[in-house]
Amino acid sequence: MTAAAGVDFTYHNGEDAGHFAIIESLGGGVALFDFDNDGLLDIFFPGGGRYEGKTVLGLPGRLYRNRGNWKFEDVTAKVGLAGPFQYSHGAAAFDYDNDGWIDLLVTGYNRLVLFHNEPDGAGGRRFVDVTAAAGLADHTWSTSAGWGDLDGDGFPEIYVSHYGDWGFETNHPTDCTYDGKTRDVCQPRKFKALQHLVYKNNRNGTFTDVTAKLNLRKDGKGVGVLVVDVDGDARPDVYTANDTDDKFLYLNRGKAGELALEEVGLLVGVARDDRGQPNGSMGVDAADYDRKGRPSFIVTNYESELPALYQNRSAGDRLHFLFASQTSGVAAVGGSYVGWGVGFLDYDLDGWEDLLMVNGHAIRFPTKVDRRQKPILLRNDHGRFADVTRDAGPYFQTPHNARGAAFGDLDNDGKTDVVVSHVNEPVVVLRNATPTADRHWLGLDLIGAKNRCVVGARVVVETPSGPQTRFAKGGGSYGSTNDRRMIVGLGADATIAKATVYWPYGKVQEYTGLTADGYWKLEEDVVAPRKTESK
């Protein structure tokens, strides 16, 4: 759908300069969010960067407004996003000040950039760079960002994943090769990890760096990050995918008004693979893929490593995960891929969340597998995955150098579409055209009374075929933002008994009167759900 839809953009990494810098490996993400509140998802792409000599420069990103009927308009200049960025990677779109309009945070090399979504004075919207005024003084190398109200005050904090200490003047090895003669991008072990950071939201449009107070680990070269309630205590937790280092799981231990995180990744089984080894981990997502009511994790990894599916096997207060790539069928894809963007989605609306992964090598001249690699689609059959890539459509039959992938319903038909960013290759918009005439769905948009972003919420939808659980998440995939709405595939079920929302920090509400095949707004402290008219 890309060309016909009017989406024409390419992320550039500057590799033509011949520096073989490791920042060229990471590429960019995608953000799907409704910036103008017209009911249609818009698309933002970070632009990457270039060099002037050994000066690292950024390229502008691109914002496409969804005009409906699969037509998009480039509004980048109109909304104030045409200026130069830093060398950029990720895009996190969320409402940081609870004004009802989604803002935009862009990660990258030597700078974070925060754009506030505000009126343009002519009835439209514009984005204003408020980075300095907001107190975001991060001048290291950030890759992805996750968000959620970590201290229970109603405003989202920001978790920023950092990578390593690369720099032309500080650490730029020039002797790296994989075949003994051809220069290439250096491996991650050549670089020291940079500590990730947490910004506390001060509830007045500013943030404070509280990393030192939280005692975060210092050894993870961060790539993807996801904020979600992992242990069911109604508080959002943080899970990070790290490159060649242990993955981190920070459980939220703070009381109301208090910010406290405890790292337990190795203890609960989500830091390493089944051999006890840390992986080259890139993308991450979570879902109740086995319909047990608990979030399990998927993590994409480097070549010769399996994609890691960590099945949530917790019992009572004991949090525990099992490396289940083999038993779930995910291992069948093998270790010939370098995985990046990833997401759970019920693409066929049968009530079981499937998996889509996009791939592409991190170095210029790999010796074991190709640089360009095909994406993978795995269908979930009652908790076990089968590779259906061959039947997924033309895009899946050709190799690409993919990085970020974002998941969302671009045409409000109840089926999840996908947008993928590549390195030095045009982006792609994938319309979900799966035949689903005999299947039903339910779309949910959660709106908190105090905390509008509701990351950490959990929803249980009950139908004749049994309950399904969905989670409100901040971040995920790699460097990307997914549709904030939840889509629940109902299969043949046309009736819905109720939806129970476990709001962040303790409140529980039941909603009835829901009908299938449409979107509903569920508002905290409001009894009746509101049906949304599709555009």
Task: For residues 249-256, give the mean pLDDT.
Answer: 93
Average of per-residue pLDDT across 120-148: 98
Tokens 């894809």 belong to residue: 333
Helix (H/G/I), strand (E/B), else coil: 197? strand
pLDDT tens-digit series, residues 355-391: 999 999 999 999 999 999 999 999 999 999 999 999 9
pLDDT over 80 (residue 441)? yes
CB atoms within 10 A of CB 118: 16
pLDDT in tens, 40-94: 999 999 999 999 999 999 999 999 999 999 999 999 999 999 988 899 999 999 9
**Buried-exposed string 200-238: b where 16+ CB fall within 10 A, e elsewhere:** bbeeebebebbbeebebbeebbbbbbbbbbbbebbbbbb
Mean pLDDT within 222-244 = 98
Residue with tokens 């210092």: 218
Give Cα separations from 513 to 442, 459, 476, 534 (angstroms): 12, 16, 32, 18
Amino acid 93: pLDDT: 99
What is the pTM (predicted TM-score) of this model?
A: 0.98
Residues 6+ apart with CB under 8 A from 84: 57, 58, 59, 60
Predicted confidence band at 33 (pLDDT cuts at 50, 70, 90)?
A: very high
SS3 state of residue 79: coil
CA angle 144, 147, 151 (to 5 degrees): 140
CA distance 237 to 255: 13
Q: How much of the chain is helix, strand and coil, in % rounded to 5?
A: 10, 40, 50
CA dihedral 107, 30, 232, 498 (to 10 degrees): 150
In whole angstroms, what is the distance from residue 211 CA to residue 204 CA?
A: 20
Residue 198 has pLDDT above 90, yes or no: yes
**φ/ψ of residue 325, rounded to 5:** -60, -40
Q: What is the mean pLDDT of the chain?
A: 97
Q: Residue 453: which of 21, 95, 66, 65 has the closest Cα?
A: 95
Q: Tell me: the pLDDT tens digits for 158-195?
A: 999 999 999 999 999 999 999 999 999 999 999 999 99
Torsion sign over Cα 123, 127, 133, 135: positive
Of 517, 514, 511, 510, the closest CA to residue 489 belongs to: 517
Nearest one of 531, 460, 479 to 39, comparing CA atoms: 531
Q: What is the pLDDT of residue 85?
A: 85
249 beta partners: 239
Contact (CB, 8 A) for 284 and 299: yes
Domains of the chain: 2-56+72-285+294-531 (2.130.10.10)
**Tokens 């939840």 -> residue:** 486
- Phi and psi at 387, nearest 5°, equal -75, 115
Model pLDDT, residue 452:
87
- The mean per-residue pLDDT over the stretch 305-325 comes to 97
Single-letter residue type at 289:
Y
Give the up-direction half-sphere exposure of residue 436: CA atoms within 13 A in the CB hemisphere: 22
Asked if residue 356 lies in contact with residue 375, where contact means CB atoms within 8 angstroms, the answer is yes
User: Are the CB atoms for 281 and 236 separated by under 8 Å?
Assistant: no
CA distance 473 to 148: 8
Burial status of residue 433 (CB atoms within 10 A of its CB: 0-12, 13-18, 19 or more): exposed
Predicted local confidence at residue 535, as pLDDT: 67
